[in-house]
């Protein structure tokens, strides 16, 4: 007689998360848990997924065709992130594998951070703190660390999804900034009005903005969306902030523009080769660097994991998941 427990789906959680939030998986699945605070090496991930029906992962694990070919039982890939450029969605769809992600729950926290990183950059908070901690402060000076203002400025937002719109509301209502935006598709008039934002071409946005903030997902078409040519279009002394994905910015061009004084300041939470950071960025002045923490409040990170678990179990139960990724994203 077959043991009913053997019919339970087999699931891999590929990274150390919040242990108590995995109890629903333990109750209904055979759970393999990579209880380490680092990404599994690709060879180990491939070995673990060989007999799995589902996997819950983070942005650190990459899912491509080769990994899928080695995972013949796989039915669902659930990422706790809102972005899914680390997953070959087309390859999953071709194999009938559902991909899910975790939007919405991180919108407000990420928008808070976007404003915080922008303010830290344009007010030179990072450099000022390092200056003080190094014992170099000898007294007040009228032009020491005199940066730029957000209030009364023009903020250009590239990527006007949920996070971009939340940033626009904060900057317009809280700081009195004028908002221009560029998006793959123009927003409908009601969303534009709610965001107090007006649509612009990318070139025009770069030319008229005092500060430019990137809040869009990565795609091959968006690789180095902001490079040397685009930086040259920006106002001299402008600020550039990226909370989207690292590949959106040509980091060498950004570092050079800061060294040359072409840009006034910049803030990066994401990097093209993360966790590796280009040495030229580490040497660049007036640049605030943070280690991919835009969504890192404890309530939000827990909500992301909880949603990823819900998505995973829905597919394994034969139900429609709350947050499927559509082919073409």
Catalytic residues: 245, 274, 292
DSSP secondary structure of 16-53:
---GGGGHHHHHHSEEEE--SSSPPPHHHHHHHGGG-S
Residue 167's beta-bridge partner residues? none
The answer to whether 122 and 150 are in contact (CB under 8 A) is yes
Q: Which residue has the tokens 């002394």?
A: 237
Q: Which residues lie below 8 Å from residue 37, measured CB to CB, with a gap of 6+?
A: 15, 16
| Structure tokens belonging to residue 98 | 């559902």
CA dist., res. 98 & res. 89, Å (int): 9
Fill in the DSSP letter of residue 206. H
19/9 Cα distance (integer angstroms): 19
Measured over the CA atoms of residue 177, residue 180, residue 181 and residue 187, the dihedral's sign is positive
Q: How many whole angstroms separate alpha carbon 118 and alpha carbon 104?
A: 22
Q: Are 209 and 155 in contact (CB under 8 A)?
A: yes
């Amino acid at each position: 007689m077959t043991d009913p427990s053997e019919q339970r789906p087999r699931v891999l959680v590929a990274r150390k998360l919040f242990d108590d939030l995995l109890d629903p998986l333990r109750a209904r699945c055979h759970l393999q848990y990579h209880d380490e605070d680092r990404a599994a090496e690709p060879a180990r991930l491939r070995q673990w997924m060989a007999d799995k029906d589902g996997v819950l992962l983070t942005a650190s694990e990459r899912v491509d065709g080769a990994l899928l070919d080695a995972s013949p039982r796989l039915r669902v890939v659930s990422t706790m992130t809102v972005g899914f450029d680390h997953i070959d969605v087309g390859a999953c769809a071709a194999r009938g594998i559902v991909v899910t992600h975790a939007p919405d729950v991180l919108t407000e926290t990420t928008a808070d951070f976007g404003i915080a990183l922008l303010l830290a950059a344009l007010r030179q908070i990072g450099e000022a703190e390092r200056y003080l901690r190094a014992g170099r402060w000898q007294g007040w000076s009228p032009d020491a660390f005199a940066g730029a203002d957000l209030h009364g400025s023009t903020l250009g937002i590239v990527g006007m999804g949920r996070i971009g719109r939340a940033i626009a509301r904060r900057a317009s209502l809280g700081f009195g900034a004028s908002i221009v935006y560029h998006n793959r598709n123009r927003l409908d008039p009601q969303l534009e009005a709610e965001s107090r934002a007006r649509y612009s071409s990318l070139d025009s946005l770069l030319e008229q903005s005092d500060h430019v903030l990137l809040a869009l997902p990565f795609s091959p078409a968006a690789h180095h969306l902001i490079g040397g040519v685009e930086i040259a279009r920006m106002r001299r002394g402008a600020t550039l902030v990226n909370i989207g994905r690292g590949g959106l910015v040509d980091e060498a061009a950004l570092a050079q523009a800061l060294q040359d004084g072409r840009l006034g300041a910049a803030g990066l939470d994401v990097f093209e080769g993360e966790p590796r950071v280009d040495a030229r960025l580490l040497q660049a002045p007036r640049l605030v660097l943070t280690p991919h923490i835009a969504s890192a409040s404890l309530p939000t990170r827990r909500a992301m994991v909880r949603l990823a678990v819900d998505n995973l179990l829905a597919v394994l139960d034969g139900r429609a998941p709350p947050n499927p990724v559509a082919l073409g994203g």
